[in-house]
Amino acid sequence: MKKIFTTVAALLSFAVGAMNTPEELSVEICRDRYSSAAINGPKCRAKKTADSDHQNSFFDMPSKVCIPASTKIIAPKRFEEYRYPTEITFEAGSKLLEIGERAFRRSDLRSIVIPAATEIIDRSCFAGCESLEKVIFEFGSRLRIIGRRAFEGSNLKSICIPSGVTKLSARCFERCKSLEKVTFEAESGLWEIETGAFNESGLRSICIPASIESIGDHCFAGCTNLTEITFEAESGLLRIGLCAFCRTDLRSILIPASTERIGDCSFSGCISLAEVTFAFESELRAIGWGAFSGTNLKSILIPANTKSIGPSCFANCEHLTEVILEFDSELRIVGEGAFTDCPNLKSAPSDKPSSEKTPAPRRIPANIKIIGPECFADYCELPAEVTI
């Protein structure tokens, strides 16, 4: 009997709720459905359906939702694939610490202001949000982590990364085609940009904070609008990863003195790249396989500390005429096919720049121990004699 009474009471309660006006319903959702407990509970089942005019839900979710200040975590997948809300706001004094994995993935969210208290944006949190154009972090943001694929495929136009973020995780802004501008708060603590973070995004230019030590593999690969990369003064960059800037539209770049390694294919296919300069007292040790292949370089000065030039490093550089080694060069290895298909290269790497007063043959420094097979193969117009 008790069970029957409970069931009847529940049905009456649902019927009364169904008669609420949209305004009352919105208030009810904000106060009840989106209370700190409900945020971590089961979904309200308001997902997108094949028919855009209907939703698989007991009610129409409002277009704007206000999250209570007491909420500390938005649970994983909480709003995943929801048509609504399109705008999320937070009560003043929000204590939100974490936005869970896939919390808003593929939703129709258009804008959001992340509370200052938030420390973690988990993986795929806003991935596939094709309507998401604006993400703002409140002043004094304590954000530390932006997870893997966090904003992948979103429609962001620009974003400012808070100073407390230490790492941009893999592919966090990948395929953000509308993302043209990324800035970093002053005194940024960012030390690593991981694999594919901005791969195939719409970036046009970017200034890398001095705190960054590593640019990951494929980090800016395929950013066909990217024409300018600069580094803050006193940059601590140590490594440029595999294919980090390949297939971009860079015209020139100044590599920081702290950089020790340029990875394989880092600038491969940058057909507009005509000038590469290494900062004074460069610590560069190695240039990887195919690092500058297919670029528009005309000449290049290799830093004295560089010990190896990788295979195919300058292959297919059709406009390359000379390679100069800095005084007291420590170069030991020139890899296989390093200068193959360079039709305008008229001299082997030397510690003397070419001039009318420098007749062929040119002298290869004695410290070079290995010159790989076909190093100057095909079309290199070297003099008949090269002195070693």
Q: How far is CA 243 from CA 43, 237, 355, in A?
A: 41, 16, 34
Tokens coding 147:
């997870």
| Contacts with 337 (C-beta within 8 Å, 6 or more apart), sequence order | 311, 312, 315, 372, 373, 374, 375, 377
CA neighbours closer than 13 Å in the CB half-sphere of residue 355: 5
* 320 in Cβ contact with 298 (< 8 Å): yes
CA distance 113 to 77: 19
| Contacts with 94 (C-beta within 8 Å, 6 or more apart), sequence order | 67, 69, 71, 115, 116, 117, 118
pLDDT, one tens digit for every residue, the chain (388 residues): 545 545 444 444 433 343 343 333 333 333 334 444 345 544 444 445 434 343 334 345 667 889 999 999 999 999 998 887 888 999 999 999 999 999 999 999 999 999 999 999 999 999 999 999 999 999 999 999 999 999 999 999 999 999 999 999 999 999 999 999 999 999 999 999 999 999 999 999 999 999 999 999 999 999 999 999 999 999 999 999 999 999 999 999 999 999 999 999 999 999 999 999 999 999 999 999 999 999 999 999 999 999 999 999 999 999 999 999 998 899 999 999 898 989 888 766 666 565 544 444 455 666 766 665 666 665 455 444 444 4
Tokens coding 264:
């394989």
Length reported for the chain: 388
| Contacts with 168 (C-beta within 8 Å, 6 or more apart), sequence order | 146, 161, 190, 192, 193, 194, 197
Q: How far is CA 103 from CA 72, 117, 308, in A?
A: 14, 17, 47
- Per-residue model confidence (pLDDT) at position 97: 97
Judging by beta carbons within 10 Å of its beta carbon (0-12, 13-18, 19+), is residue 233 exposed, middle or buried? exposed
Q: How far is CA 12 from CA 2, 8, 16, 30, in A?
A: 16, 6, 6, 22
- Per-residue model confidence (pLDDT) at position 43: 47
Concatenating the DSSP letter of every residue in 137-183 gives: EPTT----EE-TTTTTT----EEEE-TT--EE-TTTTTT-TT--EEE
* 56 in Cβ contact with 45 (< 8 Å): yes
The domain ranges of the chain are 31-190
382 closest CA partner among 340, 329, 351, 353: 340
Three-state secondary-structure class, residue 206: strand
Q: Which CATH architecture best describes the domain 31-190?
A: Alpha-Beta Horseshoe (3.80)
pTM of the entire predicted model: 0.80
- Per-residue model confidence (pLDDT) at position 13: 43
